[in-house]
Structure 1
């Protein structure tokens, strides 16, 4: 990071005959999948494409960003990170890119995406809970050390609301410090964590899942879990129907939370109606996951990732994208856009987490 920040943009013109700010807008319109080829044109282009924050800021301003899938896999007891790029006009072609490994290997960490950065929060290292935070900069494919939390956590809940990261749980409330800091919020502007009030009766230890819906952070515990309304600053209980129907790793798309039920079907929960409904239209297009599958909101489409079939030495990491809709009656339907293997990994590998980031 220090090396990158110390470099300056070359004084030569990026495109002969054009001011550099205009040339920057031209480069910003090129899909990122083509950046490796563009970087071969000249040194100034290579620097701009790899090291210039101005390029990514211009992409955001022009709304030419693309959504990329980031996947954390556990392979042979080691953590591996990949990103998957979609080739234009060829939806069945995927190129997994191996990312730098995280400096430590936390187990049971919480994850959050804030802007172009992925936050890996807490987790246990050598069976000891940690308050460390690692940050992956998706612009420049590098890890940074983030500000530490006030207390150590593992299997905590995390959610992003209003440009801030809220975490709760993942610790034993056995002293005053843990009690006062059971819930913390990270402000990227100040770059620091601070505690926010929580009620004694909501301070469960472990959280097995979390999400954000309508400005509220839902933290699912073994005994129901809690809801924190960020705008109102109020705590509440998770609706009973949501608690009974939530299985595995869920994703919120269009205000509806999707996950697999105990029969292996995708169902959606509408928090306003407090009801679960089956997602129609994909019943015979995807496997039935009795143990669930990993889901993520991928550019307002439901993305499902799972460990597929393989040989005695390798298994396939499968992925599917589903366009979901809710009609005027509140019924849910989906259209399978594509489904294919995106990577081959050694047998025994498992999916830890997946995220979608706009860059």
Structure 2
């Protein structure tokens, strides 16, 4: 994997290349380019060779960051059946919430034709999208049964400005369905499974340090967990729920395991210790997705009810999840010859940006006919207490081919 463009700094801009904007020093011109929306870059690349190099430089990202011009895009990995053979292809796309656009990123590296990646971890850090581990499976055509091949410990970083992929140092062990989050500029992962066809979670945790491109082991959790959700709250890592297993040769009782599934483990990097919190998730079915927005935890459902038709917020005082006022909703979509059907949204992915929750991708399933359709609508819920603002709004991006989302999405500022 090679860098698609040369790195360009301000000094090089001044000394080695033609002016970016006639009459302006290149350092000033770069500040002007940094203020332009990223959605325009593909068009602006055609202006000149110097613009093309500047728009794909790491210096541009640093300038955008300093000016406060970075934009949060939502990145998703999809599986789709393309080409005459209808072989499966794993494609990454980015959603630009400001311009309501889906933009192609390209194929996921490290996968052969007909291979898919599922159950991976993804985070955004320093303008890069990191995709970690996951389950590699194959499916030659839409009619074939999915076959598990292996669990990966590979780590890839996509630079959202330069468009370059880098293969990073692999995890210490392979993992799928694990907790993954960013804290203090490092990536912390915990739990998951490390073996195909073995429904037992691991208790181990590890941390990736980008500056060193290396992993270090962390203290173990109290129990093995998989299908758990990880997020950062107040500089601590929360590992929520999950199917749990004993880490001591199966001596844990079924009742204790049920308690573990309803629990959360909290890692404090300053102390290097885990804290076990009972009953925080409340049900023994793992969460589907939980996000942190302005210090509050929001959930859209569990693995059996990936979209409940409402949004839940965690009340730390009462240790309960409560339905957010005004969030209860069913989506109504028009289907050919079936107008007016009430449809339930399933397998949606949720992202938090600003004061809004975004709900993307997924399927709508008819409550009357049992059929399903891919959903293009992006639905947005405003968490502010302003009663004059309509809580829900829906956007219609340009329709895309039907694609299966492979794991929850990730927000990257760049």
Return the alpha-carbon distance in structure 2 between the equivalents of residues 5 and 181 of structure 1. Answer: 42
Structural mapping, 1:280-295, within 5 Å:
280-284=325-329, 293-295=348-350
Distance change in 2, residues 1:6/1:258 (3 Å): closer
Instruction: Please give the per-residue CA displacement for 1:87-111, whole angstroms capped at 9, x wherever unaligned.
Output: 55xxxxx332221211224332122
Return the alpha-carbon distance in structure 2 between the equivalents of residues 285 and 310 of structure 1. Answer: 11
The question of whether the paired residues in 2 share the 8 Å contact of 1:317 and 1:344 is answered with yes
**Partner residue in 1 for 2:337:** none
Residue 227 of structure 1 pairs with residue 266 of structure 2: yes
Instruction: Please give the per-residue CA displacement for 1:34-85, whole angstroms capped at 9, x wherever unaligned.
Output: 2233333322122211x22111211110001111121222223432211122
Aligned match for 2:75, one of 70, 76, 84? 70
Return the alpha-carbon distance in structure 1 between the equivalents of residues 353 and 7 of structure 2. Answer: 35
Residue 80 of structure 1 pairs with residue 80 of structure 2: no
**Partner residue in 2 for 1:319:** 378
**Partner residue in 2 for 1:206:** 226
Instruction: Please give the per-residue CA displacement for 1:260-314, whole angstroms capped at 9, x wherever unaligned.
Output: 3565321111335523222112334757857563211123421112424599996
Return the alpha-carbon distance in structure 2 between the equivalents of residues 313 and 291 of structure 1. Answer: 9
Return the alpha-carbon distance in structure 2 between the equivalents of residues 149 and 333 of structure 1. Answer: 48
Return the alpha-carbon distance in structure 2 between the equivalents of residues 319 and 358 of structure 1. Answer: 19
Q: Secondary structure at the match of 1:46?
A: helix
Return the alpha-carbon distance in structure 2 between the equivalents of residues 21 and 6 of structure 1. Answer: 15
Structure 1 consecutive aligned stretches of length 4 or more whose deviation exceeds 6 Å:
310-314
Q: Secondary structure at the match of 1:130?
A: strand
Aligned match for 2:211, one of 184, 189, 203? 189
Residue 248 of structure 1 pairs with residue 288 of structure 2: yes
**Partner residue in 1 for 2:185:** 163
Q: Secondary structure at the match of 1:134?
A: strand
TM-score normalised over the length of structure 1: 0.83
Residue 61 of structure 1 pairs with residue 82 of structure 2: no
Instruction: Report the CA distance between 1:333 and its aligned residue.
Output: 11
- Give RMSD over aligned pairs: 3.3
Return the alpha-carbon distance in structure 1 between the equivalents of residues 398 and 408 of structure 2. Answer: 15
Instruction: Report the CA distance between 1:158 and its aligned residue.
Output: 0.8
Deviates more, 1:103-112 or 1:239-248: 239-248
Residue 40 of structure 1 pairs with residue 46 of structure 2: yes
TM-score normalised over the length of structure 2: 0.73
Q: Secondary structure at the match of 1:57?
A: helix
**Partner residue in 2 for 1:307:** 362
The question of whether the paired residues in 2 share the 8 Å contact of 1:71 and 1:82 is answered with yes
Return the alpha-carbon distance in structure 1 between the equivalents of residues 226 and 355 of structure 2. Answer: 29
How many residues end up aligned between the 2 structures? 342
Unaligned runs of 5+ in 1: 89-93, 174-178
Instruction: Please give the per-residue CA displacement for 1:321-350, whole angstroms capped at 9, x wherever unaligned.
Output: 2221369xxxx9984363123354445734
Instruction: Please give the per-residue CA displacement for 1:189-220, whole angstroms capped at 9, x wherever unaligned.
Output: 11110001225xx2314233222222222223
Return the alpha-carbon distance in structure 2 between the equivalents of residues 129 and 211 of structure 1. Answer: 22
The question of whether the paired residues in 2 share the 8 Å contact of 1:314 and 1:346 is answered with no
The question of whether the paired residues in 2 share the 8 Å contact of 1:186 and 1:193 is answered with yes
The question of whether the paired residues in 2 share the 8 Å contact of 1:74 and 1:351 is answered with yes
Return the alpha-carbon distance in structure 1 between the equivalents of residues 348 and 230 of structure 2. Answer: 15
